[in-house]
Amino acid sequence: MSWLRSARTSAGELVDVKLADGLIAQVIPATGTSSPGDENLAGQVLLPSFAEPHAHLDKALTAARAPNPAGDLLGAIEAMARIAGTLTHADIVARAERALRIHLALGTTAVRTHVNVGGPVGLRPLEALVEVRERWRGLVDLQLVALVPVPLSGQPGKDLRQALKEGADLAGGAPHLDPEPDRAVGICLDAAGEAGVPLDLHTDETLNPAILTLETMADLVTRTGFPHQVTASHCVSLGVQDSKTQQRVSAAVASARIAVVALPQTNLYLQGRAHPAATPRGLTAVAALRAAGATVAAGGDNLRDPFHPVGRGDALEVAALMVTAGHLAPRDALDAVTTAPRAALGLPPVSLSPGDPADLVALPAADALDALGSATEQRTVWRAGRVVARTTLHSSVASPQQLKGAAR
């Protein structure tokens, strides 16, 4: 049992929070008291820990090894293919664990990662990530999505079924790259259904409006009554449809209970390079989806690899981009990296209420907007009530008076 004292919630309340047995046991107005062993969070904002709904840990931290001069999606896929032979088990484990340490230090305690399966790498990345998932159990919830190449009607479809037997938690794929995109959606859904697992597809990661497998997906999920969770990641082409189409497809997505994951960092980087004037944003139709009642989460996708060579693995950076480029209100952007991805990942909610998991992050800030804006790396992170990461920073800044004093 422990107490977090004088924490500011995202709703602006000043509270004391009691943690016990891995859960939030009590939340009361701040008493101003503190006992030895308590955590004094005066001047800090306490948030649910972040959940990363879409990562690629097997590719993380390869940007220098696998340059992508074209800067687009195909260039990134080719760059990864060029280094496939160097992706040994030990290399994948080492980079994935380094990426997890970065995420955890910044307050992310759950990560869903897509893992390449099939082609030249075979099952190697999956075996490595299964090892990492087991080793990190209790610190970071790691969910593995089998990401197979195309065509799904050929060997990749068989590889997907194999991966689900070899430890992958979810079925994945990228039907928009398939010669038969709509059929590919059906194959992935069937594989997930047979294995009894959720589905998370790379969906319509293109500015080509003619590709809209999201609608097929919503239709199939509704018609078949698919009983497991379904996530559509990217959904870039929905963002370039006319607003009537956006509304129709968003309504179908909401009614099929498909969660959509927007990935601003990678899609602002990869998409739009063929449009030097009025460059379109590679973002899904965030407003239409939210208006229809769909769950819209946001993720970091690629951590310094050929698909996105910069980025800090910080959910607050993702949330800031959802404000800047996705036009979410700051409060909704914080939800997009906390509440929404937890729902998409099938994790219990953390709303700072008794009974919620004590998965939390605190950072020095006046309020939630200040926390999102400053995004200081000074953070304390709790997983199941235990401090699992603590970063402290010290900076020293000269004052104008000091400079005047030195000049005399």
Please state, in angstroms and rounded to a whole number, the distance separating the CA atoms of residues 34 and 48.
22
CA atoms within 13 A on the CB side of 202: 24
Neighbours of 40 (CB within 10 A): 12
Please give the structure tokens belonging to residue 32.
């101003």
Please state, in angstroms and rounded to a whole number, the distance separating the CA atoms of residues 147 and 403.
57
**Has 205 been annotated as catalytic?**
yes
The letter for the amino acid at 136 is W
Is the separation of the CB atoms in 352 and 17 below 8 Å?
yes
The letter for the amino acid at 376 is T
Is the separation of the CB atoms in 205 and 178 below 8 Å?
no
Strands 44-48 and 296-298: unpaired
Q: Which residues in 250-352 belong to E strands, given as ranges?
A: 258-262, 296-298
Contacts 24+ apart (CB under 8 A), 65-74: 66/305, 66/306, 67/306, 68/306, 68/307, 68/309, 70/273, 71/269, 71/270, 71/273, 72/270, 72/271, 72/273, 73/205, 73/206, 73/270, 73/271, 73/307
Strands 258-262 and 296-298: parallel
Residue where the block lists tokens 């993380």: 60
Catalytic residue among 52, 205, 215, 317: 205
Q: Which of 310, 307, 308 is nearest to 73 (CA)?
A: 307
**Residue 314, SS3?**
coil
* Residues contacting residue 396 through CB under 8 Å, at least 6 positions apart: none
17 conformational bin, left if phi > 0, alpha if psi -120 to 50, beta if neither: beta
CA 86-64-61 angle, 5° bins:
75
Please state, in angstroms and rounded to a whole number, the distance separating the CA atoms of residues 72 and 304.
14
The catalytic residue positions are 205
